[in-house]
Amino acid sequence: MTRRVTKAIFPVAGMGTRFLPATKSVPKEIMTLVDRPLIQYAIDEARAAGIEDFIFVTSKGKSALEDYFDTSPELEATLERKGKDDLLGALRATNMESGAISYMRQNEALGLGHAVWCARKLLGDEPFAVILPDDVIAADTPCLEQMVDAHEGTGGSMVAAMEVPEAATSSYGILDLAEGDPDARARKVRGMVEKPAPGTAPSRLAVIGRYILTPAVMRHLDEKKAGAGGEIQLTDAIAREIDGPEGVHSFRFEGQRFDCGSKAGFLQATVAFGLQRPDLRDELRGFLHDVIAMEEAAE
């Protein structure tokens, strides 16, 4: 029987250079999408999937991220006294059980594979999830929950996948799928390549930031071989499991993914999530409509 996934690693040790100068002092994961930091979306998704242990791989300059998870008894008392029940509810929903979060330090940014490897001592002999908070996914059933359900049937390792334009394949890990039902959400993988050179990608199916991995992948990371860009690539370690006993599956999730590690993606997510909010929707829609009309008139 496949073991239930209860541990998740959140690699957040990257430098976030695409958001400089903001990330000089604000960790990217604390940047706010409507009224919640990116990391809160990732935590909520993990909780919905049944995750109980939250492992953050951090680096220098991320203390604001660690502080975010402290409870705020004074703030709670003030809101309670003022009868601000909605805000109090929103605040309390972010409280984490003591001991549920651990922090591991990545002393050198040697790549995503290396960041995941830094959490090795906190994992047992069981499958674990990896969530990249930069990838925010709007979905009726949270993406990791969809994957955990599918993983019960497949076992092995699983990567979230979505189609990207041909021109974008060189920015992702790209999958080569084995024969099988083209409409199935979970499909067996027969090859994967990190950031293929333009024109050499085996497909347009890209790996995005949700994974369920086996202890065998962690053992491959132990060898710490540098791959594309001189970094220790998670894709390379997962690829070594393709011919293993349980194999690797891709999972085409239901939902919309926003690349909040890029400025354009962050802006798009802000608009999309704003439009989903009943308290903001009408005002934002009116504003967008007017701005676009003004832009068009000026052309």
Q: How far is the CB of 47 from ligand UTP (least distance, A)?
A: 19
Q: How far is the CB of 169 from ligand UTP (least distance, A)?
A: 16
Residue nearest to ligand UTP (CB): 14
Task: Give 17 or 98: the residue with its C-beta nearer to ligand UTP.
Answer: 17
Q: How far is the CB of 115 from ligand UTP (least distance, A)?
A: 3
Q: How far is the CB of 135 from ligand UTP (least distance, A)?
A: 9
Task: Give 44 or 246: the residue with its C-beta nearer to ligand UTP.
Answer: 44
Q: How far is the CB of 58 from ligand UTP (least distance, A)?
A: 8
Task: Give 143 or 177: the residue with its C-beta nearer to ligand UTP.
Answer: 143
Task: Give 113 or 127: the residue with its C-beta nearer to ligand UTP.
Answer: 113
Distance CA 248, CA 151 (A): 10
Task: Give 57 or 79: the residue with its C-beta nearer to ligand UTP.
Answer: 57
**Interface residues with ligand UTP (CB under 6 A)?**
11-18, 28, 57, 106, 109-112, 114-115, 132-134, 261
In the chain, the amino acid numbered 112 is L
